């Protein structure tokens, strides 16, 4: 088996996926908007392009004639993916999935209106006036997000009516693509946020990884841990919802399905049709197969006999705090003195405030105290400085 794979988006998740695919003998061409992106450093070739430019995207596909196209980010002219499927190119997981999940309106309406999943109350707004009306209907606090964005960009919690203009402007300014619209959601009082990594197969049952707990700031992942405390009922409900939504979107691959755990049950939040940032914790050896190996096998149609928890683990991100083209990373020696600790430095060529530059990973026995592991992962991350 040998496939040529076009990877659209070449960040740290894409880098680990390329490594998994190369270990299975595949050829990967990495695409991103800037040279030197992490996945480009390990791929067979690369292209620098604006993937929101349909003509540039068409030209790259025509040049490389891939067997598979694997989107790794949101900022893609996703409607072009339908045409590539008609050219008998496999889009991962499918053109339908990529289109729906790149736009919060499509995925939320599918989950809530068509599939009947429990979600937060929500409205959309295309103008500041309609935004204010939606806020009055939802009430405070409420969560505001662009319909198209990534890594928490443009997302905020509105707690004071005096901040409406600021929150609206922040969401619109950070919208990706040409969609200038926001979603306003009621704030869910949750005790835990989880990611349920879900694997759909070409030939085989839908599989679920042990749930991952995570904490966000500014709408972006800061730490994750596996396993997470969850009742059997909540776990079964989450699996049922994940299976419904992935079946409706179609295709094979790994999906990061996010849920809120509350005293009133499980609420569907969002979904990504690719490896999930919170799933970086699987690089700590928590599962028999990392999320990247699972994705590689699923998209190639290779068997996945079982997914099982082998260790408890935690991950904590390493962030930059300034914008710079040149920088140094120090503290690896100190971080790695702690047993069962590992570090991934992503290799991004520049920094900016809150940009993820690496991740600290730690594991323990399957029954280890997860809070102790979280603290150790935080300590390891704190050892590393970006100057």
Catalytic residues: 150, 152, 258, 270, 277-278, 356
CB atoms within 10 A of CB 164: 15
**CA-to-CA distance for 243 and 283, rounded, in angstroms?**
24
Pure H helices in the chain: 12-23, 54-64, 80-86, 95-101, 104-109, 128-138, 164-173, 232-249, 291-300, 332-335, 370-382
Rounded to 5°, angle at Cα 184 from 181 and 190: 140
Q: What is the dihedral of CA 19, 379, 213, 278, to 10 degrees?
A: -30
Q: How many helices (DSSP H) and strands (DSSP E) are in the chain? A: 11, 20
**CA-to-CA distance for 217 and 107, rounded, in angstroms?**
23
Yes or no: say if 322 and 377 are a contact pair by the CB < 8 Å rule. Answer: no
Q: What is the DSSP letter of 202?
A: S
Tabulate helix, strand, coil % of the chain (nearest 5).
Answer: 35, 30, 40
List 182's β-bridge partners, or say none.
Answer: 125, 146
Yes or no: say if 76 and 92 are a contact pair by the CB < 8 Å rule. Answer: no
Yes or no: say if 171 and 103 are a contact pair by the CB < 8 Å rule. Answer: no
Residue 81's region, left for phi above 0, alpha for psi from -120 to 50, else beta, is: alpha
Give 314's Cβ-side CA count (13 Å radius): 20
Radius of gyration of the chain (CA): 20
List 4's β-bridge partners, or say none.
Answer: 27
Q: 277: Cβ–Cβ under 8 A, 6 or more apart, which residues?
A: 13, 151, 220, 221, 224, 256, 356
**CA-to-CA distance for 216 and 208, rounded, in angstroms?**
22
For residue 161, what are its two tokens? 């009516």
């Amino acid at each position: 088996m040998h496939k040529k794979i076009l990877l659209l988006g070449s960040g740290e998740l894409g880098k680990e996926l390329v490594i998994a695919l190369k270990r299975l003998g595949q050829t990967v061409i990495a695409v991103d908007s800037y040279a030197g992106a992490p996945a480009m450093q390990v791929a067979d070739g690369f292209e620098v392009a604006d993937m929101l430019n349909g003509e540039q995207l068409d030209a790259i596909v025509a040049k490389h004639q891939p067997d598979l196209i694997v989107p790794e980010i949101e900022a893609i002219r996703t409607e072009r993916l339908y045409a590539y499927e008609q050219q008998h190119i496999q889009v991962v997981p499918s053109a339908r999935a990529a289109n729906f999940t790149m736009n919060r309106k499509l995925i939320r309406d599918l989950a809530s209106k068509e599939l009947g999943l429990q979600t937060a109350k929500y409205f959309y707004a295309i103008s500041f006036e309609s935004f204010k009306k939606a806020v009055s209907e939802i009430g405070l606090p409420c969560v505001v997000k662009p319909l198209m964005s990534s890594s928490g960009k443009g997302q905020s919690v509105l707690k004071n009516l005096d901040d409406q203009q600021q929150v609206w402007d922040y969401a619109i300014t950070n919208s990706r693509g040409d969609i200038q619209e926001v979603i306003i959601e009621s704030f869910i009082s949750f005790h835990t946020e989880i990611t349920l990594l879900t694997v759909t197969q070409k030939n085989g049952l839908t599989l679920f990884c042990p749930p991952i707990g995570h904490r966000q700031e500014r709408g972006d992942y800061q730490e994750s841990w596996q396993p997470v405390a969850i009742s059997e009922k909540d776990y079964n409900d989450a699996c049922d919802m994940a299976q419904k939504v992935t079946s409706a979107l179609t295709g094979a691959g790994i999906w990061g399905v996010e849920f809120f755990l509350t005293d009133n049950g499980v609420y569907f939040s969002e979904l990504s049709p690719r490896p999930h940032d919170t799933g970086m914790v699987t690089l700590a050896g928590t599962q028999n197969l990392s999320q990247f190996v699972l994705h590689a096998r699923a998209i190639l149609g290779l068997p996945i006999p079982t997914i099982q928890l082998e260790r408890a683990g935690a991950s904590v991100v390493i962030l930059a705090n300034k914008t710079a083209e040149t920088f140094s990373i120090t503290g690896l020696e100190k971080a790695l003195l702690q047993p069962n600790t590992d570090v991934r430095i992503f290799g991004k060529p520049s920094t900016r405030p809150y940009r993820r530059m690496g991740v600290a990973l730690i594991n323990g026995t399957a029954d280890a105290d997860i809070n102790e592991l979280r603290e150790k992962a935080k300590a390891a991350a704190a050892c590393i400085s970006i100057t």
